[in-house]
A and B are shown apart, each in its own frame.
Chain A
Amino acid sequence: MARRRSFLLGVTALCVAALLPQRTAAQASVQILNVSYDPTRELYRDVNQRFAQRWRAASKQQVAIRMSHGGSGKQARAVIDGLPADVVTLALAYDIDEIASRAKLLPANWQTRLPNNSAPYYSTIVLLVRKGNPKNIRDWNDLIRPDVKVITPNPKTSGGARWNYLAAWGYAQRKYGSPAKAREFMTRLFRNVPVLDSGARGATTTFAQRGQGDVLIAWENEAFLATNELGRGKFEIVAPSISILAEPPVAVVDRVVDRRGTRQVAEAYLKYLYTGEAQDIIARHYYRPRNPQVAARYAARFPRMQLLSIDRHFGGWGRAQAMHFNDGGLFDQIFEAAKR
């Protein structure tokens, strides 16, 4: 009995010790949490490793960067609900806007605090087809042919899918000239969608692993990942004539870093993303770098396309969200029409 009691005491003491903040080590080491979106796992694994080395050399402090990945909207909601993110690196500005407006964790003008709209890299949306392009898909208008099946995730749940949708919409509006025609185009496109996954990774799996559909609308980096790693020589990337300038932004979450005393390292971490070294890592992971020298070095890798901007062509995320993706918005109407 006594032995058992002392054992229990020991376990309790261990638990308490584990929960207590380690004050003695606080100066020598620091931990921050980066809450990110789905496909950046591989990117930040490399970035974090290099940044930790640089930070240790510069400040004699160990930094451990913990990661959390998931659908961009879901991640934003977790931060709003209290997940203590020191930095957020999400798929679209709208999700960080929501954190700013709903939970007031950072100022509304957060996007002006870092260069390039706080997006250290950009990307775009491309079409991924099966080897040899058997359905001869060259551009967006091939996606509405009745013999083509299109895989894209649900824009209501996936940040990447919102970019997909807006890229197709932007193409249709330019090509056919009116919003009514664009809407008809989108209705026909979604009539060709047999499966609606909730996230970008899920859609990639449905297309690549389950063999569903003839074309996957995807992040450029996901498409590269699929062609180079999921199935070498099984897929081809088709660059459409028009696509969208996707700027996944990053931000320090002020209220969290001030509470935890991590502002210095968190700000350094995001600034590091703009350095030549980080830009090179970014380009190696198939995201388009901002740094001109790095961009020139990797120019051959990324096809040239006309890229529409969310701010200039869609009136910013607030408007695009309200018009297309909110309840009863154009996406819902398109689905109402597509089902008939």
Chain B
Amino acid sequence: MLKVRSSRPVLPGFRLSLGITLFWLSVIVLVPLSAVFAKSATGGWDGFVAAALSERALASYRLTFGAALLGAAINCVFGLIVAWVLVRYDFPGKRALGAAVDLPFALPTAVAGIALTTLYADTGLLGRPLAALGLPVAYQPAGVVLALTFIGLPFVVRTVEPVLAEVAHETEEAATTLGATRLQTMARVIFPTLLPALATGFALAFARGAGEYGSVIFIAGNMPFRSEIAPLLIVTQLEEYDFAGAASIAVVMLLVSVAMLLVLNMLQHWQRRKG
């Protein structure tokens, strides 16, 4: 009985599954994306430059990608600590804490945006003392970073966690018996193992943050040149029936995101080969 079963292929045929993959990716990803490129071309080269590379658009890219990078970087630091605590220690309430990490995944982003704005506005519970210290958060670029940090957290924690759980205690013990200090074990043994996962988490959090709209518009202030994110600029162009302009900005965002992910992948690849 067992033998018969194991001789049957577990997955359906390669050709069928590849066909499904290509069809599915086309319908869901490739065709819509090529439509964006086609639409951005309808305004001609001059139209594309005027819409996608205007001073205001450039300011919005700086904010969007800058805040996404900063948010992802913050998440790398604190996400790593959270993952570390969740994997390595046992304490009451650990499961609840683990579930809380996933909340930014599950929460509608608008809800997150409204909650953060309420808390961090200069009349809010956390915003008031911060504003008194001269650090206003809501309706400032800092608010954008805050929102993107919030939505990016689970990406880092959930990619680092399984890898961290895999790092065998024996490896650490071996390092210790070979005379490594605890800091050396951290820096030379554990951290290099985690680096690829951390880089993936960073890339995911960054990509998610760059495209985020729902939570940011509530807290950003949305002032052109200062606190206006690129996705909002796209929506604004759509409201003006400027479909080509909206697509042009979308194309720039897409290209920058793809370039960033490519660089990260190459870094990871290089890191693995070096290792």
Contacts and interface: CB of A to CB of B under 8 A. Distances in A.
- Is B truly associated with A? yes
Contacts of B223: 193-196
A162 to B, nearest CB: 11
Nearest to A73: B239
A241 interface: no
B236 interface: yes
A157 B226 contact: no
A222 to B, nearest CB: 19
A181 B224 CA distance: 23
Interface in B250-272: none
Interface in B224-247: 224-226, 228, 232, 235-236, 238-242, 245
Contacts of B123: 210-212
Contacts of A211: 121-123
Task: For chain B, give the interface size range.
Answer: 20 to 34
A197 interface: yes
Interface of B, secondary structure class, is loop
Contact of B222 (A80, A198, A325): A198
Given A210-B117, A210-B121, A157 B221 contact: no
Contacts of B146: none
Contacts of B55: 336
B217 interface: yes
A326 B240 contact: yes
B118 A77 contact: no
Interface in B171-227: 217-218, 221-226
A59 B34 CA distance: 51
A74 interface: yes
A196 B222 contact: yes
Contact of A154 (B121, B139, B222): B222
A98 interface: yes
Contacts of B139: 194-195, 212
Contact of A327 (B122, B238, B242): B242
Q: Which of B56, B139, B223, B238 has the most CB of A within 10 A?
A: B223
Given A98-B241, A210-B121, A211-B121, A157 B225 contact: no
B43 to A, nearest CB: 11
Contacts of A77: 238-239, 241
A123 to B, nearest CB: 21
B235 A157 contact: yes
B245 A327 contact: yes
Nearest to B221: A195
A56 interface: no
Contacts of B226: 339
Contact of B236 (A98, A156, A209, A336): A156
Given A156-B239, A325-B240, A335-B225, 14 more contacts: A71-B239, A77-B238, A98-B241, A157-B236, A157-B239, A193-B223, A195-B223, A196-B223, A209-B118, A210-B118, A210-B121, A326-B240, A327-B51, A339-B226
26 contacts: A73-B240, A74-B239, A77-B238, A77-B239, A80-B241, A156-B239, A156-B240, A157-B235, A157-B236, A157-B239, A194-B221, A195-B139, A195-B221, A196-B221, A196-B222, A197-B222, A198-B222, A202-B218, A210-B118, A210-B123, A212-B123, A326-B240, A327-B51, A327-B245, A335-B224, A336-B55
